[in-house]
Amino acid sequence: MSREPRGPNEKLGTVLALAGISNAGLARRVNDLGAQRGLTLRYDKTSVARWVSKGMVPQGAAPHLIAAAIGSKLGRPVPLHEIGLADADPAPEVGLAFPRDIGQAVRSATELYRLDLAGRRGGVGIWQSLAGSFSVSAYATPASRWLISPADSSVAREPKDAEDGTTAASTTGAAADALPPQRVGHSDVTKLREAAEDARRWDSKYGGGDWRSSMVPECLRVDAAPLLLGSYSDEVGRSLFGATAELTRLAGWMAFDTGQQEAAQRYYIQALRLARAAADVPLGGYVLASMSLQATYRGFADEGVDLAQAALERNRGLATARTMSFFRLVEARAQAKSGDGPACGAALKSAEGWLERSRAGDPDPSWLDFYSHERFAADAAECYRDLRLPRQVRRFTEQALARPTEEFVRSHGLRLVVSAVAELESGNLDAACAAGARAVEVANRISSARTTEYVRDLMRRLEAYRDEPRVAELREQARPLLVAPA
């Protein structure tokens, strides 16, 4: 549906011409972006003509999808005012704030958990309506505030604070109206940590889109939010904020893995704020590392370097050797994507050195249990892939694939794709197709937009050999991945 005409939208027409997008092309892009968010849209070239010539304003998520479609072609964010749609329903700012006040921080996080559910119940919630609103600049304030002060002075929440009008009812429904604020204890926090551990295992094995993994936002809304809005001592509160930060970062990671970049960004910002309330500097660094990986993946490698280095700086003398190794590895990923070979090499050397210094008895955080020598080798291989050094890619991929496990299925699939790319760039088409076939087999049994995109990238690289029977066979095997939304 569209609102009443208001005269030609010259701004939209001008930007479409600048981007070189036809009316039919824009309609197709908007429909595709909507499909990726579970929306069934049927816009055509006539719809776009009405937006431009008559100034009709499409409702719901469409204006933001239009901005995203044009922005992807221009290679930069496109605000609504630039395309004459500033008076469209604005995308909510939920989850983007990094409040200084601890009470406001609780409200910011619980509001995000509540709105996420709206989309899952069939409405247009955060997963659907925030299309195209990812902006790497949104990480600037959270990162700087965390660097300046990575811990709150006190997070105790007494019953009188919990009764200030922000009750569990605002998040969990009217049934909570008659309930007094919940007194939170260590056993409540333990349940959240157990939920996070279970979700991490499912995510690694089946991808962020698996239905079990998708229960994390529900856990945040139903279990974590009432606890945050309850009453607790400073000691219990720190632990509660830490457990909730882990779950929130994990929700962000799963959103990232399924292609919901806008939702992921909001979860990451709230996870960083909660880690600050927990006074858990290594966990805050882990959230920043996740932000860095997302920024790098989205094409903002320089900002990815900054975020990874922020994680490193605050954790010197605090984090374990293995944790510091991971942060340096994330920096290397960003340096490679930016094309800075020497900086990438230095970061990889440092990451390897930190990893060699780590010991089995070190007090490593549980959320780092995935990081091993094989994971280091896998990321090093991706660094050298980005630097177009196939010999190094092959060397590190062999190490990464030395001990495949059923626990990290998605990672194994990604490594196989990287191996296939390295073999292709080395002129070994048979080996490339063999590794590609194994990667496609993995991708077909997990729910991960990221893995699917890796496979699609491999098939694009193989397009020059499309007449080869081996390539044709692989393309047929990968067909479900090539036609489905990433």
Q: Exposed, middle or buried: residue 326 (CB in 10 Å: 0-12, 13-18, 19+)?
A: buried
3-state class (DSSP) for residue 58: strand
What pLDDT digit, counting tens, does each position of 330-361 carry?
999 999 999 999 999 999 999 999 999 999 89
Amino acid at position 194, single letter: E
Mean predicted lDDT score pLDDT of the chain? 85
Collapsing DSSP to helix, strand or coil, 43 comes out as coil
Q: Are 323 and 364 in contact (CB under 8 A)?
A: yes
For residues 64-68, average pLDDT: 84
User: Over the stretch 244-299, which tens digit does the pLDDT of each residue have?
Assistant: 999 999 999 988 888 888 889 999 999 999 999 999 999 999 999 999 999 999 99
Q: Look-up: residue for tokens 């779950």?
A: 247
Other CB atoms within 10 Å distance of the CB of residue 279: 18
Taking 3-state DSSP, the helix, strand and coil percentages for the chain, each rounded to the nearest 5, stand at 70, 0, 30
The CA-atom distances, in angstroms, between 177 and each of 103, 108, 112, 125, 182 are: 20, 20, 20, 24, 12
Q: Which residue has the higher pLDDT, 456 or 168?
A: 456
Residue 403 has pLDDT above 80, yes or no: no
Neighbours of 149 (CB within 10 A): 10
Over residues 125-179, the pLDDT tens digits come to 445 555 446 788 889 999 999 999 988 989 999 877 666 544 433 444 444 444 5
Burial of 429 per CB tally in 10 Å (0-12, 13-18, 19+): middle
The dihedrals phi and psi of 231, each to the nearest 5 degrees, come to: -120, 145
Indicate whether 450 pLDDT > 60: yes
CA-based radius of gyration for the chain: 23
Q: What angle do CA 91, 97, 100 make, to 5 degrees?
A: 160
Q: Which amino acid is at 40?
A: T
Residues 12-31: tens digit of each pLDDT: 999 999 999 999 999 999 98
Higher pLDDT, 70 or 486: 70
Torsions phi, psi for 2 (to 5 deg): -135, 155
Token pair 């995203």: residue:
68
Q: Hey, what are 253's tokens?
A: 């990671």
pLDDT of the residue at 241 = 98
The closest alpha carbon to 276, from 226, 319, 242, 225, belongs to 242
Cβ pair 312, 327 in contact under 8 A? yes
C-alpha to C-alpha distances, 173 to 167, 362, 406, nearest whole angstrom: 10, 44, 40
The span from the first CA to the last CA of the chain, in angstroms, equals 26
Cα separation, 124 vs 107, whole angstroms: 21
Mean predicted confidence (pLDDT) in 454-461: 91
Instruction: State how far the Cα of 477 lies from the Cα of 347, in Å rounded to an integer.
Output: 38
Mean pLDDT of 75-88: 79
Distance CA 451, CA 438 (A): 13
According to the model, what pLDDT value does residue 119 have?
Answer: 45
Evaluate if residue 406 carries a pLDDT over 90: no
One-letter amino acid for residue 190 of the chain: T
Q: What is d(CA 399, CA 379) in angstroms, rounded to the nearest whole number? A: 11
Residue 383 has pLDDT above 60, yes or no: yes
pLDDT, residue 120, reads 45
Contact 434, 396 (CB under 8 A): no
> Looking at residue 355, what is its pLDDT?
96
What would the two tokens of residue 115 be?
């709105």
Residues 6+ apart with CB under 8 A from 460: none
At 480, list the tokens: 């479900």
